Chains A and B, each alone.
Chain A
Amino acid sequence: MSLLRVRGLTKEFGDLVAVDDVGFDIEDGEFVSILGPSGSGKSTVLRMVAGFEEPTDGEIALDDVEIVGSPPFERDVNMVFQDLALFPHLTVAENIGYGLKQSGVPADERRERTERMLEMVRLEGYGDRSPAELSGGEQQRVALARALVNEPALVLFDEPLSSLDRKLRQHMQSELQRIQIETDTTFLYVTHDQEVALAVSDRLVVLDDGEIQQVGTVEELYEAPASRFVADFIGDVNAVEGRVTAVDDAEIVVDTGDDEVAVPRTAAGNAAADVAVDDAVDVCVRPFQVRVESAGSAGASDSDDASNPADADGAFATTGVVRSRSYQGSDSLYGIETDRWGRLSAEVRSASFDVDDRVTVAWDAADVHVYRRDGSESPDTDGGT
């Protein structure tokens, strides 16, 4: 039995379908993120779980009890709001104790549990201050404590970290994970920031245009994205246009120009790829899986004509010119204008190239994902390619 069960959840605002037939489960003790671009309907899902929006259709069950229709103050969930919504007329301790006061917890116990929470979020001695006197990070902690002190079945987060700077956000992420484990509470976190989602979550629900794109662990989503959208949204990806010339249970043969490459079905995610002969497809590969070598080097001369895809050894290959380079610490990200497929990006660790260098670019057929181009929108058309 799942802690939270969402089925067929739909929300319409007039003609706009903000959330369309969304369904997912959250198990007890999990840290799940709903990830999607702005306008994808992720906050609306959260607000329906909290009780601030009524679904047009669908079910939300908490602990196997249907909660649609019950007001927010009767639901065993607490929310950390995007703007935190700390009560400015109350002290930090009164903010944290607010929920306990509503449920009639006696003052003594209230004080004690508030104290314990302040300790948990490392704000001992801050109880008598006004929220306005605290820094952004400290206010986040108060908001978190205020939600956790009621020991709800589920804590909801509506992008509360988005207002923090990068350093503080990363710190708060690890704090969130620590507190989630210490309190053994289930977290449902909504964000548009894939970095945050990847860092903190056990599982992700990727949402776009109100529809679920994929549900899975971080690894599953990264290694076997179910669509071009997910591939683009979870990390960067290069996409090459092609056409399917043959398909069977073992491989998909793709024509990406004037040569054909057989993509084995074993490659993550391709086993289920729903493509047929003559389908227009995107062949996607992660920048870190792209190999770059100097065109004049011995390695490149192995191939008779480096501008042709080397289908013989199951790889995609072409030549190109380095157009940009950005240093990223342990490796460098190159933008390469290829002769066949336009601009691609490649993450290279050891070798070093300069702008205007001529290079060969290649990647293994086993590393690509093949997606049908049935007008399935990519989140940003210039992303990665």
Chain B
Amino acid sequence: MSAIDRVTDPFERFTQAHASRMASLVVVTVLAFLWLPIGVLVFMSFADGGVLSFPPDELTLRWYRVFLSNDAALDAIVTTLTISVPATGITVALSTMIAYAVDRYVFPGRNWLQLLSTLPIIVPLVVTGVAMVLFFNGTLGLPDYVSVVIAHVIRTIPFATLVILPTFMSFDRGLEEASKDLGADEFETFRQVTLPNVFPGVVAGGLLAFTLSFNEFVYTYFVKGSGDPTLPVYIWNQIRYNVTPEVNVISVVFLGVAVSMVLAAVSLTRVDLIARR
């Protein structure tokens, strides 16, 4: 037995004996740090107090009423939707085309297309944000609204493509041949066989894109300028000037949107079926 073995041995034995308990501890800690603040936030959205304090004196829906009667906040939601909905549509169309092309065809620059479309994930948001302000608003002189939609599309395309691509890759093109063999022409084959099989993935990509766009802050903050704020920017402004419990309520709205979108995506793609395969 070497010297190192003697030193590491007790540690080795301890980890062997308690491996699963240690793993559980790590998981619980991570989950706690992730979810406890959010749990507190949700709880606090029902608190009566005028400031962020814990524990609250009384539970109430007062701040939800305040939120719903706050035109500025509701305007922010509308502003967000006028950006997120078209951005999502454009993203889904582009991502589907990218996925289709990458899956079906071998063409020059195929790998570059794949790399470039996922690049925005890696480049720091602030860098891209500044770059977009300079280019869209400065060089091109685009209106704020157009710039911000383009920014959202750029932000969401990598994620949507990553979700949509696997559905194309796992789609068996033999099914299209079978369909044609059974008498369906090209269009009917696409409508009755291709689309139903890739549709869940496309919808899931769209839901993800929408969630990201709805929550998007950094690009929006840079590109949007001084116009009507989106909901995330509105929260930012609120927190900067005066913190009210209304912010908690808006955060819960975000949480609700995100969770329901993810649930919808999961049920549509039937991830459980894919996992079982």
The answer on A and B forming one complex is yes
Q: Which of B176-204 contact A (CB under 8 A)?
A: 177-185, 188, 192-193, 196-197
Q: Which of B136-185 contact A (CB under 8 A)?
A: 172, 174-175, 177-185
Query: Among A13-21, A82-90, A163-171, A295-303, which stretch is in contact with chain B?
Result: A82-90
Q: Given A81-B177, A85-B174, A85-B175: A73 and B185 within 8 A (CB)?
A: yes
Jot down 22 A-B pairs with beta carbons below 8 A, ordered by A.
A52-B177, A71-B180, A71-B185, A72-B177, A72-B181, A73-B182, A73-B183, A73-B185, A78-B181, A81-B174, A81-B177, A83-B174, A85-B174, A85-B177, A87-B179, A88-B175, A89-B193, A98-B179, A98-B192, A102-B183, A102-B188, A146-B182
Q: Given A81-B174, A102-B188: A87 and B193 within 8 A (CB)?
A: yes
By beta carbon, the residue of chain B nearest A146 is B182
Interface residues in chain B, defined as those with a beta carbon under 8 Å from any beta carbon in chain A? 172, 174-175, 177-185, 188, 192-193, 196-197
Inter-chain contact count A-B, CB under 8 Å? Answer: 55
- B184 adjacent to A102 (CB under 8 Å): yes
Q: Out of B181, B192, B193, which one reaches A50, CB within 8 Å?
A: B181
The size bracket of the interface on A is 20 to 34
Q: Given A102-B182, A150-B183: A89 and B177 within 8 A (CB)?
A: no
A92 at interface, CB cutoff 8 A: no
Q: Given A87-B193, A88-B197: A72 and B180 within 8 A (CB)?
A: yes
In the bound complex, what is the Cα–Cα distance between A88 and B193 (angstroms)? 9
Q: Which of A138-159 contact B (CB under 8 A)?
A: 146, 150
Q: Out of A71, A87, A89, A103, which one reaches B178, CB within 8 Å?
A: A87
- A89 adjacent to B197 (CB under 8 Å): yes
- A98 adjacent to B182 (CB under 8 Å): yes
A8 at interface, CB cutoff 8 A: no
Q: Which of A90-122 contact B (CB under 8 A)?
A: 98-99, 102-103
A359 at interface, CB cutoff 8 A: no
Between A71, A78, A98, the greatest number of chain B beta carbons within 10 A of the residue's beta carbon is seen for A98
- A85 adjacent to B185 (CB under 8 Å): no
A206 at interface, CB cutoff 8 A: no
- A150 adjacent to B182 (CB under 8 Å): yes
